Structure 1
């Protein structure tokens, strides 16, 4: 899906922060100043969306997960909806410290959530006292709120997509330690050097966030579709030789006819004698 500057403009992607709050490292992405506010160069934004989209599509095609991180009010629901639609994990509540650097512990918490669910299914939960059931329910609700969206993430993500890198600085640092590629919407008040794939954009307006994520998730969906098509093609290619090998062999009757001729001649010879 090609990115048009006009649609970015209509979504307010070009509005940056006050000039006194800017980060000088964002200078290459600033078009001009208007009424004390920096205006982002949308031509560069469109090019960066295409660049990030191509990279994210490749990661999705390889089978790795892309973790979306956005805990600010304007982005929570949008990220949950967009990431959920392509079956990607996301964090929209408080970032759990050590989510990446201490992933083993996080997985244990997720397994704890799964074990509680099993208790409820097999009836063990009802054998607990009323007080214990209440405590378990509270623990389950807390885990669901913080980790529910990453319950299917069995290994470290192939990439991180962040909305507002200043707010999610802990997530950024953890990803940097583990050399996980970072994709992010970066506003004029942030340092783009912390990110591998910068998308200069207004990260405060819900319309802007929605527009960027629509393009990003579309690229990921394309990568997933290509992966599925490749798997289907490989499966059909391996099934064809099997079907050929399993085909029944047709026996010919010519060989038995020849073998019957010998006994007939022998009988005739005996009669002549």
Structure 2
């Protein structure tokens, strides 16, 4: 897991909060001072919280559950798509599809629809449609891809949610709360941290800040995934050993029985 350097967080501008008049008083414990009408976040607290968050995310990844990343603001979209995609985690960077979690069955249906269109294209059924129908199917496929493409592999509810800007993604937060899905988030000084299980007090507007935090947490997820892989390899090797021993014993027994 990456070592968290306060100096690097400072260079990425993670400490810049919002204007003091826009603050949420519940963020007070994470605020270091006020400078030129802007709240400055205490980076030592941020570093400790990133560490705590990374540890928890690593465990979730190692358990085989998915972590769904949510960030629809312009400066976070590409970063989230890149970082979450690199560790094969699902993400939503377009509009949050209402009921994405609370009505997961319907969302799964839409994803299956996408898969069936892909099958049609592979097996040639698509070409038997009229030009107009093909155009409609293509439009539908593009729309589904835009909204749900990155979650097409998510066959069950995620084990956790990672959100950039909880004020903006309030619908996603509400759905996760209803289903008791743990929420991890970058929380700026204008938001209420009580809505989140794992708070990372940080500037959620600057792309450098978002990039820095996501690089650290996704590196922890990657560690969790490789831990899971090596555990699986060990288990397979153990099973193989047991199988060989059992086969040997059975062969010996058969030989002994035949001698008798």
Same fold (TM over 0.5): yes
Which structure 2 residue ranges, 5 or more long, are not aligned?
none
Q: Distance in 2 between matches of 1:46 and 1:166?
A: 22
Which runs of structure 2 are paired with 1:117-266 in the superposition (5 Å)?
A: 117-247=118-248, 249=252
SS of 2:3's equivalent in the other structure is: coil
Report the CA distance between 1:168 and its aligned residue. 0.2
Report the CA distance between 1:89 and its aligned residue. 0.1
Report the CA distance between 1:244 and its aligned residue. 2.6
1:88 paired residue number: 89
Q: Distance in 2 between matches of 1:245 and 1:103?
A: 45
Q: Point out the structure with max Rg over C-alpha.
A: 1
1:99/1:251 Cα in 2 relative to 1: closer, same or farther (>3 Å)? Answer: closer
2:40 paired residue number: 39
Q: Distance in 1 between matches of 2:200 and 2:144?
A: 32
SS of 2:77's equivalent in the other structure is: helix
1:26 paired residue number: 27
Runs of 4+ in 1 over 2 A off after TM superposition: 244-252
| 1:186-209, Cα deviation, whole Å (9 max, x unpaired) | 000000000000000000000000
- Using the size of structure 2 for normalisation, the TM-score is 0.95
2:16 paired residue number: 15
Which structure 1 residue ranges, 5 or more long, are not aligned?
257-273
Which runs of structure 2 are paired with 1:45-84 in the superposition (5 Å)?
A: 45-84=46-85
- Using the size of structure 1 for normalisation, the TM-score is 0.91
Q: Say how many residue pairs are matched.
A: 254
Q: Distance in 2 between matches of 1:174 and 1:16?
A: 27
